[in-house]
Amino acid sequence: MTNFNFTNVKNRAKGQIASSMTTSDTSFSYAAGDGANFPNPPYKVTIGSEVIRVLSQIGDDVLVCERGVEDTVPEAHSAGSYAKLNIYAGDIQELQEAIRDLENRAGYKHVQSTPSDSWVIQHNLHRVPSVVVMDSANELVIGEIEVVNDDTIVLHFTSGFSGKAYLN
């Protein structure tokens, strides 16, 4: 399982930097009061064409930042330059990866469209899953589980019906 450290976001977050920045600065300050316009770290801002990941901030003072992220290059910035919070490709890619990770951990959904009293389920989870079965009316159904191997189970019921089995 992957650990995700999503960047925080806030609508229309922008502010001016209080003093100039060199290409090697890893801290900076916002103009008085502008630090409150941004979410709690971590978050990313664009100043000029550079993207900066803010990692630590108290009030208007950014104590630690990572320069030149999202395939950008550290640049010098003048006092009064605007820092704007945006959503970046890396953020979307991390979100997509998190969704795939959740889908993989969520397990497998089997749809039994033909009524049957035995459902053979090839789930490929490589383990014995827990199972919840719902009939076509979305009512919980209890049956017996036969484990064939770590990738296949057979569900046995007292009568045939169609529905869905959720495995995790």
Q: Tens of pLDDT along 125-157?
A: 888 998 999 999 988 999 999 999 999 999 999
Region for 25 from its dihedrals, namely left if φ exceeds 0, alpha if ψ lies in -120 to 50, beta otherwise: beta
Query: Are 28 and 94 in a shared domain?
Result: yes
Give 78's pLDDT tier (boundaries 50, 70, 90).
very high
Query: Quick check: 105 pLDDT over 70?
Result: no
In a domain, 5, yes or no: no
Query: Are 121 and 87 in a shared domain?
Result: no
Please tell me the total count of domains within the chain. Answer: 2
pLDDT at 2: 59
Query: Are 60 and 117 in a shared domain?
Result: no
In a domain, 7, yes or no: no
In a domain, 70, yes or no: yes
Domain final residue pick, 77, 100, 123: 100
- Residue 44, classified by CB atoms within 10 Å of its CB into exposed (0-12), middle (13-18) or buried (19+), is buried
Query: Quick check: 96 pLDDT over 90?
Result: no
DSSP state of 38: S
In a domain, 91, yes or no: yes
% of the chain with per-residue pLDDT over 90? 77
